[in-house]
Chains A and B, each alone.
Chain A
Amino acid sequence: MEPNPGTLAGSISIRPDQEETGFESLQFREEIQRLIAVPPENASSFTALLELPATQAMELLHSPPSEEGDPAPLSGDSLHGISDDHISYISSFNGNPTFPSNKALVERAAKFSVFASGENSPETSSVPSNSSANLEKVKSEPAETDSNPNSSQPLVSDPTVESKTQRSAKRKEREKKGKGCTKKSKNETSQDAQKLPYVHVRARRGQATDSHSLAERARREKINARMKLLQELVPGCTKISGTALVLDEIINHVQSLQRQVEFLSMRLAAVNPRVDYNLEGLFATESGSLVDSNFPSMVAPLVCPEIPFNGSRQDYQQQWHFDALQQPLWGREEDSHTFITPDNSLLSYDSANSASLHSNQLKMEL
């Protein structure tokens, strides 16, 4: 009986990290309510637990500590202040955990697990990878980038099964340890709890439910969500775990972009004797050929030296800006890491084309 609720409880704790939609939350709710018929929380160990991760991801469900021998139910945690949107859920709880259906929260929570301050015990490492893999599919929150991960169907069933086995294994481990290692198991459970991007909004026992911790939690979640967006924007950041390293990457990226701007502006200044960029008929291209090419950056004018060409080029020119700007950008959005090396492709493309120079003035009426 003991392992059973424990396992179930543990499974519930993992499940939510895959949850991504409101529908799932409903399903979970029912299941959890069933499970919660089981033992009430275990006061002493819990309060001790609760104090620990005060500054960490709150939405994580603690697995009950094992040294008490009692499987405390999953509902232990309070996930206050997940966000203002979801504080309304809190009122609907009376002892039943619910899962606010905000994908963003789940993301953030899981994100948090990745961002947990610097230390990742080997135990936790498996779950964050699991959750982060799932999160790739979660649709991110206020879409600030184009490269939002697509929301997939929430993978409820499979992860649940996996997580059940994981959790049961861990639980058994912990149960073996006995009472001597209170702190350690608390530690573990708190770490385990960190892994679980559980969007559970219930007041933890003994946890300060004051506005400060709520607000701080909400704040932390927001920050983590934004960090996730940033990670996606900066190429090569998605695999890095840990806020400090991600920030490093972001800083490097911004610095390199700024340097590139400097360099390019110098280049432009050198190239042109007068600061006169009327784009006078310089950019003639066949709009059709643009579609084929898949440049990581904007298509440059395709100039072929030998073939003089007159007349009909004029119509292209004014279209050029829009076409050139729009088409390669589709390619651009896909390769996020190739924007640094366009020049080779530009030059090679150039030789392949038969556009030519024009000396007409391009109107800048765009």
Chain B
Amino acid sequence: MRSPSSLKQEFLKRWMRGLQRCTSSSKKDMNTLERKKVIKLSADLAMASARNGKTSWSRALIDNASGDNDNRILAERILGPESDILIKRVSTSVGTVSCNRKIRSKKILKRSCNSVRRVRKATHLPHHQNVLAKSIAKRLVQKRTQILKRLVPGGEFMDELSLIEETLDYIAYLRAQVDVMRCIASATELINRNND
């Protein structure tokens, strides 16, 4: 398992590189919002590329970033020379998934309708309290799974097991990102304060 320190190092490295690449080419000064966008985007891409497309959420992130045209150029620049390879890899893997997605989403719809019907029946005849409680618990869990799916990038079309794995990975990544960013932020602030 990647240790968090190596994770952070990797992230930091890629992030800085991405930022450098991005800012070196743009002449104008961006306002704060743009900067924030760039920072966030480069951070996201940094981590995503660190995963090398092995995890689904990273693929989804890259995919999203390349989706919008305005972002795409930026993203490509940030990703740098290896961006072509990465994006290709991502798009191929995503492409195969997208067909499954449609099928899966239909299945999910059907299943959800059925389960709703089943639950309604169950509530009408709680022949056993156990069953009723179980079904309620299931619904709760399902709701939360839905929410989680929305949170994790690229999570909508995964089954439970992979969703959980992706979440694990994603949380590790988010933590590393937060730590690194916080560190740099406070560092820069301190320095600026000292400079003044």
Contact = CB atoms under 8 A, between A and B. Distances in A.
Given A230-B167, A260-B178, A271 B9 contact: no
Interface stretch (A22-30, A98-106, A158-166, A294-302): A294-302
A55 B16 CA distance: 50
B182 A297 contact: yes
Main secondary structure of the interface of A (DSSP, over half): helix
B162 to A, nearest CB: 9
A265 B181 contact: yes
B69 interface: no
A322 B29 CA distance: 32
A321 B189 CA distance: 18
B87 interface: no
| Chain B, interface SS category | helix
B1 interface: yes
A222 to B, nearest CB: 6
A119 B140 CA distance: 13
A118 B134 contact: yes
Contacts of B151: 251, 254-255, 258
B13 A266 contact: no
Given A223-B161, A300-B186, A254 B181 contact: no
A226 B161 contact: yes
Contacts of B59: none
Given A262-B40, A269-B39, A275-B22, A282 B179 contact: no
Interface stretch (A7-15, A62-70, A338-346): A338-346
Interface in B173-189: 174-175, 177-189
Contact of B137 (A243, A254, A274, A276): A243
B171 interface: yes
B136 interface: yes
Interface in B30-65: 30, 32-33, 35-36, 38-40, 43
B96 interface: no
A332 interface: yes
Interface string A218-243: 01001100110110011000000011
A278 B20 contact: yes
A152 interface: no
B94 interface: no
A300 B187 contact: yes
A32 interface: no
A366 interface: yes
A175 interface: no
Interface stretch (B97-105, B114-122, B142-150): B142-150
Contacts of A347: 186, 190
Given A278-B16, A300-B186, A265 B40 contact: yes
Contacts of B160: 223
Given A143-B1, A326-B5, A350 B190 contact: yes
Given A261-B178, A298-B183, A364-B17, A244 B137 contact: yes
Given A119-B133, A268-B188, A329 B171 contact: no
Contact of A117 (B16, B39, B137, B189): B137
A145 interface: yes
A323 to B, nearest CB: 10
Interface of A: 55, 117-119, 143-146, 183, 187, 219, 222-223, 226-227, 229-230, 233-234, 242-244, 247-248, 250-251, 253-255, 257-258, 260-262, 264-279, 282-283, 297-301, 303, 305, 321-322, 324-326, 329, 332-333, 339, 342-343, 346-347, 350, 357, 364, 366
5 contacts: A226-B165, A261-B178, A269-B39, A329-B4, A343-B186
Query: A-B pairs with the 3 shortest C-beta distances?
Result: A118-B137, A269-B35, A247-B144
